[in-house]
Amino acid sequence: MSTTAVGSAATPGSAWAPWLQQQLQHLLAQRGHAWLLQGPSGLGQQALGLALARYWLCEDQQPAGACGTCASCKLVDAHTHPDLCVLMPETAMIALGWPLDESSQKKIDDKERKASREIRVEAMRGAVEFSQRTSARGRGKVLLVYPAERMNAVTANALLKTLEEPPGDVKFVLASEAAHQLLPTIRSRCLSHNMLWPVEAQSRQWLQEQGVDADTAAVLLRAAGGRPADVLAWTEDQVSARQWRQLPRALAQGDVQALAGRSPAQMLDVLIKLCHDWMALSSGAAPRFFDEADLPAAPALPALVTWSAELRKLLRHAEHPYNAGLLQETLVAQVHALCRQAGRSSPTRAKAA
Ligand SMILES: [Zn+2]
């Protein structure tokens, strides 16, 4: 309701949410030509960054944000505004429907190379050129970088130079899910905004407005640790509440298919959450990500502690080109073995007692 009251005109994209609108108005009330929007994933920093860029370029700015109807807003929405440069890893550009430059697109189409998961040095060079050009529509230019932590040292230094000596009419929005990984000199050149966590009722309502049913919203919000944008992305990937609820038992039974279709990082995310909840149960606390009824008996705490450390070690390398199939089998086998040990040890304990 409040989302529609803001007007479809002001909402850049379907994932716009009331808590983002609130943050946008806070940002609009301040001056600043370079913002760093930071917080954990799933809080909407990319959407907020784009809304800010859209406002700056809008030809009929409204108190609540961009008008949504002027030529400029329409160009931003069509991802073709000449004064907006979006700098993202190619995988994110493709996923979010932003055009790549012709030569990169051709190389990927011709399978000469894969789409990059980093912000490429070549793309940054293009952005530096963009910042030196004259504004095409006379309202300045905006450079949006997301996720900003995906810049390597060369790329980050090129951005730093542009931030230090902005050619006049360029504004910057850096959106990050791991701002601690950015160069401190980049951080210090930007005004920083910490993304707000929406309250649960607000997240649930918003998810329902996006077409997610109430049960799914409740189960998956819990699974996502309260990050509504993650839930929406999952449902778009066909992850259902039922599937989430069945995961712990399927894993405990050694069902390799339980993790099918997930990236290494996503597989590890599931297992770290399962491990967390088992550890919580073992120490008498409530599970956080799964419902207690969906969790098989917890393996012994020392085994969980070892497992947790192994998972975190793997997570640090989750971007490596693992053989996903092999990793999936190994990870599921580990859970299966842990649960079998737990199954073997509990009757013995009962007998001894
Ligand atoms: Zn407009």
Tokens at 340, concatenated: 């079998």
Domain presence at residue 324: yes
Residue 266, in any domain of the structure: yes
CA gap 175, 282 in Å, rounded: 38
Number of Cβ within a 10 Å radius of residue 137: 16
pTM of the model: 0.79
82 Cα: distance to centroid of ligand 1 (angstroms): 15
Q: Are residues 161 and 55 in the same domain?
A: yes
Count CB atoms within 10 A of the CB of residue 71: 12
User: 64 CA to middle of ligand 1, Å?
Assistant: 11
Distance spanning both ends of the chain, measured CA to CA: 59
Same domain? 108 vs 28 = yes
Q: Which of 194, 221, 256 is the last residue of a domain?
A: 194
CA of residue 63 to ligand 1 center, whole Å: 12
Residue 20, pLDDT above cutoff 90 = yes
CB 175, CB 145: distance < 8 Å: yes
Q: What is the pLDDT of residues 178-206, one digit of tens each?
A: 999 999 999 999 999 999 999 999 999 99
Whole-angstrom Cα distance, residue 207 to residue 199?
A: 12
Structure tokens at 11: 């909402």
Q: What is the CATH number of the domain that holds 95?
A: 3.40.50.300
What are the beta bridge partners of residue 38? 176, 194
Residue 119 sits in the same domain as residue 185: yes
Give yes or no for residue 345 having a pLDDT over 90.
Answer: no
Domain boundary among 133, 166, 194: 194
279: containing domain: 240-352
Return d(Cα 329, Cα 336) in angstroms, integer.
Answer: 10
Kindly state whether residues 52 and 180 are assigned to the same domain: yes
Residues forming beta bridges with residue 86, ordered by sequence position = 144
Residue 171, CA distances (Å) to 54, 211, 303 in order: 11, 35, 51
How much distance in Å is there from the Cα of 70 to the middle of ligand 1? 4
Sequence-ordered strand ranges (E) for 127-267: 141-145, 170-176, 191-194
46 and 125 within one domain:
yes
Q: Is the domain of 180 the same as that of 53?
A: yes
Regarding whether 135 and 252 lie in a shared domain, the answer is: no
Compute the distance from residue 65 Cα to the ligand 1 centre, in Å: 9
- Going from the Cα of 56 to the center of ligand 1, the distance in angstroms, rounded, reads 9
Span 230-280, pLDDT tens digits: 898 888 888 889 999 999 999 999 999 999 888 888 899 999 999 999 999
Q: Domain count for the chain, please give it.
A: 2
Is 5 within the bounds of a domain? no
Which pLDDT value is given to residue 15? Answer: 64
Helix H, strand E, coil C: the string for 46-94 is HHHHHHHHHHHHCCCCECCECCCCCHHHHHHHCCCCCCEEEECCHHHHH
Question: Tens of pLDDT along 280-319?
Answer: 999 999 999 999 999 999 999 999 999 999 999 988 877 6
How far is ligand 1, taken at its centre, from the CA of residue 74, in Å? 7
Q: Which residue among 160, 194, 228 closes a domain?
A: 194
Using 50, 70 and 90 to split pLDDT, how confident is the model at 10? very low
41-59 per-position pLDDT tens digit: 888 899 999 999 999 999 9
For residue 37, the CA-to-ligand 1 centroid distance in Å is 22
Are 169 and 50 in the same domain? yes
The reported pLDDT for the residue numbered 317 is 79
197 C-alpha to ligand 1 centroid (Å): 28
- Maximum separation of any 2 CA atoms in the chain, in Å: 82
